[in-house]
Structure 1
Amino acid sequence: MREEDLNARHKTKMQKIKAARDRMMAEKKREKKGLVIVHTGNGKGKSSSAFGMIMRCIAHGMPCGVVQFIKGTWVTGEKEFLRKHFANECKFVVSGEGFTWDTQDRERDIAAARAGWEEAKAMIKDPNMSLVVLDEINIALRYDYLPILEVVEFLVTEKPEMTHVVLTGRNAKPELIEIADLVTEMTEVKHPFREQGIVAQKGVEF
């Protein structure tokens, strides 16, 4: 088939797709609301995606915040970057003392998670906040460091209408998935640690 014929066929196809999309968008309510967003699954990218949303908010002049559960002892690139360059635009709170297998102290883990949740509630209820990331809170919920029903009830009844909240971490509980507006499950296909024994590296994992 000649190149001009391929181009003409492509244009016709794209015109049909655009017409179908225009019809679909015309039928939508197009209403805005603050979303409850969950990033879960065994694959890499849950926190990375959430911090990408933080960058978007900063670029749009939208105040935002992060409460980081579990990863407390890690010197993460996102924490260093945001605190050093965007402390006014993004409030960054660390509540965890490290991964659960490092702390090995359930009472301390529960206390740290509770302190982080109190910070998170205050941040979410702040009328100036546009988006709040609760990084790795799903891990705290998985181990019952926080009551899932308390978190769900707060998000349903007390979150301001236009505030977005992103909750990350593996094994999101069904109760959270049920009330979320957007849920993405990261699927692991290959991982350098499992395939080659390569440990977490700066700039990739943290």
Structure 2
Amino acid sequence: MGTRGLLMVFTGDGKGKTTAALGMVLRAAGHQMRILVLQFIKGAWRPGETVAAEALPTVHWLTLGKGFTWRSTSSDEDRVLASRGWKKALEALTSNRYDLIILDELNVVLSHGLLDVSEVLSGLGQRSPECHVVITGRGAPKELCAMADCVTEMVPVRHHFQEQGIKAQKGIEF
């Protein structure tokens, strides 16, 4: 069987979902693949990975959110941002311009009901056949997991914040 674009989901309560996706970005960039990273939730700060991606000529990066949705006081605004972001994602998925698309924190958007799961599944089904897609975030819907070629669940065993109160650190968590 030949190669085809894979749909991969990184979910779970453990640390490392976005980090794993960004490892794939680095690997794909090394092969001169055309990459798009769409961040649905992040946006209240400029993380190190955004800065690093600017040095990779085949990586395009868009931040679509305004920060942590679960801290938001405006679910209507969050829905509008999610809808705009999904429109950009759908355009990219069907454009044949990218070899790898990362939909960072889309699972969180779906689990908070900011987008309709069936609409997203339909859009994913329309993607270019060669396009690989990675979706990250806690709470991946079971329908998405059933559709995916690969699902990885990050399971927390120990975390420095919970056990020692060590907060997120530059270069490690952001």
TM-score normalised over the length of structure 1: 0.82
1:46 and 2:17 are equivalent in the alignment: yes
Counterpart in 2 of 1:123? 92
Q: Which string of whole-angstrom CA distances, capped at 9 and with x for unpartnered residues, describes residues 108-165 of structure 1?
A: 1111111111111112222131000000010000011010000011112x11111000
SS state of the match for residue 204, structure 1? coil
Aligned residues: 174
1:104 and 2:83 are equivalent in the alignment: no
1:73 and 2:41 are equivalent in the alignment: no
Q: Quick one: distance in 2 between partners of 1:126 and 1:153?
A: 15
Moved over 3 A (4+): none
**Which residue, 48, 59, 62 being the options, matches 1:90?**
59
Identical aligned residues as a percent: 41
**Which residue, 137, 141, 146 being the options, matches 2:110?**
141
Cα distance, 1:39 vs. partner?
Answer: 0.1
Q: Which residue identity lines up with residue 32 of structure 2 in the other structure?
A: G
Q: Which residue identity lines up with residue 45 of structure 2 in the other structure?
A: W
**Which residue, 155, 158, 167 being the options, matches 1:199?**
167
Unaligned ranges ≥5, structure 2 = none
**Which residue, 179, 182, 194 being the options, matches 2:150?**
182
Q: Give the structure, 1 or 2, with the largest relative contact order (CA under 8 Å, sep 6 or more).
A: 2
Q: Which residue identity lines up with residue 56 of structure 1 in the other structure?
A: R
**Which has a greater percent of helix?**
1
Q: Quick one: distance in 1 between partners of 2:13 and 2:73?
A: 22
1:163 and 2:131 are equivalent in the alignment: yes
Q: Which string of whole-angstrom CA distances, capped at 9 and with x for unpartnered residues, describes residues 29-83 of structure 1?
A: 4x31100100000111100000011111111011010100111112211111112
Q: Quick one: distance in 2 between partners of 1:98 and 1:178?
A: 29
TM-score normalised over the length of structure 2: 0.96
SS state of the match for residue 166, structure 2? coil
Q: Quick one: distance in 1 between partners of 2:141 and 2:4?
A: 23
Unaligned ranges ≥5, structure 1 = 1-28
Report if aligned partners of 1:97, 1:103 keep a CA contact under 8 Å in 2: no
Report if aligned partners of 1:40, 1:46 keep a CA contact under 8 Å in 2: yes
Q: Which residue identity lines up with residue 44 of structure 2 in the other structure?
A: T
Instruction: Work out which of the two has the higher radius of gyration on C-alpha atoms and give 1 or 2.
Output: 1
Q: Quick one: distance in 2 between partners of 1:120 and 1:64?
A: 12
